[in-house]
Structure 1
Amino acid sequence: MFGNLESLALENMHYLKAIHNGNLPRMEHVTRGVSEPALFCNLKQIIVYDCAKIKRLFSESVAKCMVNLQSLYLWSCRSLEEVISMDTQENEITESLSFPKLKEVLLDDLSRFISFRSQPNAVGLRRTLLNQVELPDMENLEISGSGSIEKILSVETPFGSPNRLWRMRVAICDNLVNIAQSNSIKLLQNLGTLVVTECMALNVIFDFEGLNVNKDYEE
């Protein structure tokens, strides 16, 4: 189902509450003897603008198929809390969710946005943007007007993601306290541009507390 869909754009949908509802049928194909879901498998671009009532975009089971997603643009969705929600029949997160081709993420004017992926059983981690989600190819991340995010990267951010990130811009995130925490700072080794403006609660950009540092680099 929707195997040919490459771009999804939703704009000025003031009463839209969800992209999908209920259990969608799952078409499957076989690759190397393994049965895999084909729902939204060719989706490359998602644009959601001015959809005031939508709280989340996709369930975890649907998002697992979006291996070809390359760009995600979300603007002025003031009820949006997360991109991916937990499936109701699951009790906890057991593995990271991967978007291997996602290069660009733009989040703007999302006042209630908390994280890329929900974690109902990990209360202390819920306000970390990139938590338990792998983005190994991401190069550009822009966040503006997302008032509920407290951290961008934390110690629980999967290793190797987003280590190709080259540009990051963060603005008007009122509850943001740091950009990267502890060992997750190593994921920013290729960062070429960092712009941070009007984040009033920000007290530490890079939190080195608990970081294992080679003594040869200590002063």
Structure 2
Amino acid sequence: MARRLVRLEEITIIDCKIMEEVVAEESENDAADGEPIKFTQLRRLTLQRLPQFTSFHSNRRQKLLASEARSKEIVAGNELGTSKSLFNTKVLFPNLEDLKLSSIKVEKIWYDQPAVQPPCVKNLASIEIGNCSNLNYLLTSSMVESLAQLERLEIWNCESMEEIVVPEGIGEGKMLFPKLLCLALIVLPKLTRFCTTNLLECHSLKELRLRNCPELKEFISISSSADGPAMSKPDNTKSAIFDDKVAFPDLEFFHIAGMDNLKNLLNIFPSSMLRRFHNLESLAITDCDSVEEIFDLQALINVEQRLAVTASQLRDVRLRNLPQLKHVWNRDPQGILSFHNLCTVHVWRCPGLRSLFPASIALNLPQLEELRIENCGVEEIVAKDEGLEEGPEFLFPKVTDLQLRKLPELKRFYPGIHTSEWPRLKKLGVIGCEKIEIFPSEIKCSHEPCREDHMDIEGQQPLLSFGKIIPNLEHLLLESKDASALLKCPQYFYYKTQSSRPILL
């Protein structure tokens, strides 16, 4: 029957509780000619929630004999105890493009014949593997070269998965996934590395997601020798997940979350990697207990020969629940590295963070539209730069939403005399920031705006000035004491355009 399905393009099997295989040979005569069954037109294969499934193809007679032998407890461990692969050489899918496997108990997907590449992988564009608790690896290193068309690789909830690509006893020089666009590794509690190689190149990769992989010490391990084990960093070595052996030059979206048990993750991007990720547009880091720095600029600043200015394409930064985070940028890049494309910055629950922006970055944020800081230990938004001229001017021409909430240590925007302008600000919220003065303490109800360089008794300027922000506000959320002070001057309380809409308090 299976040999007649020459035009079959898709197989989807879901929630079949007793199914054990798709193609079953009833006797030795079914395969007497030695020719494999070929589904030459099959493009998509989906197998989901099949608790008894063992293999795509099997021989019923051999399976019965094996079952009888096990029941009599006379089977030698090496004879029938070897793990069975999902696919074998009896059934071929030479044009398979999309493979989805979920909630099946196979221990291996591909058969172990290093000299013979599985013909069903050369056209694969998408592989999605989930809830396969017995898998401890996905691919062998010899298969990677055949996956030249692979664009999407997603693996999630595979509790035994230790490595995505395992070496086959030979020195691995370079591993290349030329068309891979999306890579997601999610809830893999035993994963220690992606692969073992001297260089991993994914030149087309746009999206990378790493979530709840607490044992992931490094993205790749360096291959040492044909017989020796992969070289990994000691457990007590603090480092970054990535190093210069990883090349993702077109990466645009990076999300890392749930690495709360990973003790050696000190920073996300070391200096040597910053230019390798220069096309990154969106960065989200969540629930990583040991992260202390996002961008390590130390070596970049210390280099004697100053390199040309590199413009980061980063537009969106979201940092959440990083209890050890001390710096987003651990040094002021001083113009060597520009982040002028930033549009959105959200920071939540980072109690160890004392300031957000280095001065040179804050002075060059022409595209910033939204800034939210909540539940952090921030004392100032912009850190002091001793080399900066007195009275810097911070201009945020596109910011429409500024939210500062539950920042009990916040004292100032910048430590020193300065000016700040927010001409398009529409939404302002300042709640739970007891130590900072939002507006000048002495409000003069006149047509003459208050001076922005007004200093309080501790030598701190107020966060904002009336004359330059109130005319454009639409939504204002303040503590009662700050709202009361504002209400004393009704001329600043209205949105002054032709519509004359009131500010929402």
Which one has more relative contact order, counting CA pairs under 8 Å at least 6 apart?
Answer: 1
Superposed CA offset, 1:66-115 (max 9, x none): 00000011110111122111013x1x32x211111000011111111122
Q: Give secondary structure in 1 for the equivalent of 2:147.
A: coil
**In 1, are the aligned partners of 2:96 and 2:120 still within 8 Å (CA)?**
no
Structure 1 residue 144 corresponds to structure 2 residue 211: yes
**Structure-2 change in CA distance of 1:114 and 1:209 (3 Å):** farther
Residue 156 of structure 1: CA displacement? 2.2
Counterpart CA distance in 2 for 1:156 and 1:207 is 17
Structure 1 residue 73 corresponds to structure 2 residue 154: yes
Question: RMSD over aligned Cα, in angstroms?
Answer: 2.3
Q: Give secondary structure in 2 for the equivalent of 1:48.
A: strand
Specify which of 173, 181, 193 is matched with residue 115 of structure 1. 193
Q: Letter of the aligned partner of 1:173 in structure 2?
A: M
Q: Give secondary structure in 2 for the equivalent of 1:107.
A: strand
2:116 maps to 26
**In 2, are the aligned partners of 1:155 and 1:182 still within 8 Å (CA)?**
no
**In 2, are the aligned partners of 1:39 and 1:62 still within 8 Å (CA)?**
no
Residue 204 of structure 1: CA displacement? 2.3
Counterpart CA distance in 2 for 1:82 and 1:74 is 11
Matches within 5 A, 1:24-103: 26=116, 40-88=121-169, 90=170, 92-93=171-172, 95-103=173-181
**Structure-2 change in CA distance of 1:188 and 1:213 (3 Å):** farther
Superposed CA offset, 1:5-50 (max 9, x none): 111111001x3211123216636xxxxxxxxx95611000000000
**In 1, are the aligned partners of 2:131 and 2:158 still within 8 Å (CA)?**
yes
Query: What is the TM-score normalised by the length of structure 1?
Result: 0.79
Superposed CA offset, 1:148-193 (max 9, x none): 1234321222xxx211111111111121332223312211111111
Q: Letter of the aligned partner of 1:86 in structure 2?
A: P
Counterpart CA distance in 2 for 1:215 and 1:25 is 50
**Structure-2 change in CA distance of 1:4 and 1:153 (3 Å):** same
Query: What is the TM-score normalised by the length of structure 2?
Result: 0.36
**In 1, are the aligned partners of 2:114 and 2:142 still within 8 Å (CA)?**
no
Structure richer in helix, relative to its length: 2
Structure 2 stretches lacking a partner, 5+ long: 1-91, 218-239, 310-332, 335-505
Aligned length: 192
Residue 52 of structure 1: CA displacement? 0.9
Q: Letter of the aligned partner of 1:48 in structure 2?
A: I
Matches within 5 A, 1:170-209: 170-174=256-260, 175=262, 176-209=265-298
Q: Which has the larger radius of gyration?
A: 2
1:123 maps to none
1:163 maps to 249
Q: Percent identity?
A: 25
Structure 1 residue 135 corresponds to structure 2 residue 202: yes
Q: Letter of the aligned partner of 2:147 in structure 1?
A: M
**In 1, are the aligned partners of 2:95 and 2:120 still within 8 Å (CA)?**
no
1:125 maps to none
Bigger mean CA offset, 98-107 vs 79-88: 79-88
Counterpart CA distance in 2 for 1:184 and 1:213 is 18
Structure 1 stretches lacking a partner, 5+ long: 28-36, 120-130
Specify which of 106, 109, 115 is matched with residue 16 of structure 1. 106
Superposed CA offset, 1:103-148 (max 9, x none): 00111111111222135xxxxxxxxxxx721100011111110111
